[in-house]
Amino acid sequence: MGDFYQNGIITTLHNLCRRPVEELEAELMSFRKARPMSLVLPSLYSELEGPALKNIVKELAKVPYLEQIVIGLDRADEQEYRHALEYFSGLPQHVRVLWNDGPRLRALDLQLREQNLAPTEMGKGRNVWYCFGYVLASGMSKSVALHDCDILTYSRDLVARLIYPVANPNFNYMFCKGYYARVADSKMNGRVSRLLVTPLIRALKKVCGPSDFLDYLDSYRYPLAGEFSFRTDVINDLRIPSDWGLEVGVLSEMKRNYATNRLCQVDIADTYDHKHQELSPEDASRGLSKMSTDISKALFRKLATNGEIFSNEKFRTIKAAYFRIALDFVETYQSDAVINGLNFDRHKEEKAVELFAQNVMRAGAYFLDNPMDTPFIPSWNRVTSAIPDIKEQLLDAVELDNEEYR
Ligand SMILES: O=C(O)[C@H](O)COP(=O)(O)O
């Protein structure tokens, strides 16, 4: 059941009494008129072949209150896009699949690229950005939820709890982040969140001094959760990074754009498991190694915009502080694992910390060497100002794709 602790910065909505999903859904049905709801699912074609998405679709087929489901499909050829349309066709909601690699959306991407407005990296950030553009263009919803397609422990409670805080017309929240305990197969997962993000935030507070931004970030129970929801207006002014800095980037944008009493987090699942990426100690361009580097860079960039001045020496100090704090956390997690009867591989945990420490330095060096590198995708406000009919073009392209290949 957990506790009802509030951190005093953003609101935490706990799961205090395991309300039946039907009750939540009945309420959500009554919110539909005031705040129609959409769900965005960034997906890789390969996920259509795995067990997680099959179950997600089965669960979503029972969800009565969603107006629209927008699926961003990456890495699919024509045959695979056709299959995707078929795959999602059983859903009762208004469903649109964005074929990001298809000729129409590629042509649109080229048009944006000519004006330096296109996402520069392939990946989830880009996929999500196009889906958000589509949600704006379709004008069908006032609140939106987003979650990954690799959740193995999915039930429809997750989406109900996730969207509720931004769908209830009596609530004033603009943004809501999901949280949960990533425990599966008798062990604690969430390696980057536990072993990099939290200790690095604490190290930055120690080295760079008090910071509202770092306190704010630290107040999220699972800052890397891929599940969040927001009011549709939020999209217009959102600048998101196209790399693994996406989650941290979205949290930073929310702090910049809204007062913290408009932001919240919600407990969305008792347990959570998903597809695990490899640590990839040998290849920094992959897996959790890349993720940890991108996230560290995103944090440094953000602190720099707040006036922090970085140098090689400072990064060395940050790394040292991070390393010590992270090792203390390993000890803490071990105790938590033991009292809960979970397995805990201390050697593996410390190996991850050693790799992340290296990547903190790597990210620091990169930051100093590349002052002009900003992996941000422009906000839809800016894109619309450069190409006023871009949203109509996106809407038409998606509509035609969905008709032609069905
Ligand atoms: O949230 C995280 O820390 C990363 O996505 C890695 O998660 P995992 O350890 O559960 O694979």
Q: What is the pLDDT of residues 75-98, one digit of tens each?
A: 999 999 999 999 999 999 999 999
Q: Which residue of 182, 185, 243, 355 sits with most ligand 1 atoms within 8 Å of its CB, as the best mutation to test the pocket?
A: 182
Q: Looking at residue 217, what is its pLDDT?
A: 98
Q: What's the rounded mean pLDDT across residues 229-251? A: 94
Q: Using 50, 70 and 90 to split pLDDT, how confident is the model at 207? A: very high
Which pairs count as long-range contacts for 365-373, CB under 8 Å and 24+ apart, including other chains? 365/312, 365/315, 366/293, 366/297, 367/297, 367/300, 367/301, 367/304, 367/310, 368/310, 368/311, 368/312, 368/315
- Ligand 1 atom nearest the C-alpha of 225 is 1
Instruction: Name 376's bridge partners.
Output: 241
Q: Find the mean pLDDT for residues 382-395.
A: 97
pLDDT tier, 1 (very low <50, low <70, confident <90, very high otherwise): low
pTM above 0.95, yes or no: yes
CA angle 146, 12, 4 (to 5 degrees): 135
Indicate whether residue 189 lines ligand 1 (CB < 6 A).
Answer: yes
Quick one: DSSP state of residue 170?
A: T
Centroid of ligand 1 to alpha carbon of 194 (angstroms): 8
The angle, 0 to 180 degrees and rounded to 10, between the axes of the packed helices 312-339 and 198-208 is: 140
Indicate which atom in ligand 1 lies nearest the CA of residue 288: 6
Q: Please give the distance, rounded to the nearest whole angstrom, from the Cα atom of residue 346 to the centre of ligand 1.
A: 17
- The pLDDT confidence band at residue 292, using thresholds 50, 70 and 90, is very high
Mean of per-residue pLDDT scores for the chain: 97
- Average confidence (pLDDT) over 338-351: 98
Give yes or no for residue 289 CB within 6 A of ligand 1: no
Per-residue model confidence (pLDDT) at position 371: 86
Q: Quick one: pLDDT at residue 374? A: 79
Say if ligand 1 is within 6 A of residue 276 CB: yes
Expressed in angstroms and rounded, the spacing between residue 240 Cα and the centre of ligand 1 is 20
Task: Say yes or no to pLDDT of 193 above 80.
Answer: yes
Average pLDDT over residues 366-373: 92
In the chain, the percentage of residues whose pLDDT exceeds 70 is: 100
